[in-house]
Amino acid sequence: MSATQNNLPLWVQDRDEVIAASTTDTQWRYQTPPDYSRSKENLAQESIHNHLEGTLEAIVQNLVRTFEMEVSFKTDPKQWLSIVNDKFRVSTNGGVEYTAADLAAQGTYNLFMADSEHYKALTESFESSAKIFHTTFTKGFPWEVLEVFSGPPNVTFKWRHWGHFDGAYKDYAATKEIVEIIGMSVARVTEDLKIISLEHYFDNTLFLEKLTASGKQTDTENQGSACPFSSWFKKFRQS
């Protein structure tokens, strides 16, 4: 793939550059490319770090954001630029290793969260799991790199995921607070910075406890909050 004047591969540039370079045969999950304008607003206002372009932190952050975009919105893993497709594997907390095809079929939420008291991955589809968390975090669920501890070929980094809990999580009431996840990852990459494998480490139990801490909504609350999101999600293509 092409590189910019700074000689960085396309997949470690801003994800909007990756989207702009897509071809007419790109298979988008929602028929059209995603629009990250809302995420950019949240990142500008709420990010802890503003990494300088070309730094290792910015490169790692762009690579993972491109990967997340491709998993979420490109249905054919063979079109994902960020990975070595035939070798790629991903795991969470030392668990089962999944392929790119697994991610494309089931989604990151289902494979990374797994089954627990408050989330049943086996009963959710790619679309239903995405709907749950997009209606929970109606302003988006941004991600950023906090610190990079080692460079290629084994990139170890600390990251932050956060969102405003302003929509109900299933039948649990919103707290209107910011819910934050801090995690660590190890990415093994090629010389041209494509991902061969990813290992994520984070406390998903703590995350779900925050989403269920306020207790379940009453029937009246459920009726009042259900309608707006159903029509909104059908048109969803923002992240």
pTM given for the model: 0.86
In the prediction, which pLDDT does 114 show?
Answer: 75
Residue 1, in any domain of the structure:
no
Number of domains present in the structure of the chain: 1
Instruction: With respect to residue 79, please indicate whether it lies within any of the assigned structural domains.
Output: yes
- Cα(143)–Cα(200) distance, integer angstroms: 14
Domain membership flag for residue 151: yes
Torsion of CA 138, 46, 70, 132, to 10 degrees: -20
Rounded to the nearest 5°, which phi and psi values hold at 95? -90, -150
Q: Domain for residue 239, yes or no?
A: no
Query: Which run of H or of E encompasses 212?
Result: helix 204-212
Any domain includes 113? yes
CB atoms within 10 A of CB 191: 7
Q: How far apart are the first and last CA of the chain?
A: 25
Structure confidence at residue 219 as a pLDDT band (50, 70, 90): low
Q: What is the CATH number of the domain that holds 71?
A: 3.10.450.50
Distance in angstroms (rounded) separating the CA atoms of residues 110 and 136: 16
What is the predicted pLDDT for the residue at 53? 93
d(CA 203, CA 170): 20
Range of the domain at 202: 10-234
187: its two tokens? 């990415």
Residue 209 lies in a domain: yes
Whether 4 is in a domain gets the answer no
pLDDT tens per residue across span 195-208: 999 999 999 889 99
121 within domain boundaries: yes
Using the structure block, give the residue that is written with the tokens 């408050």. 118
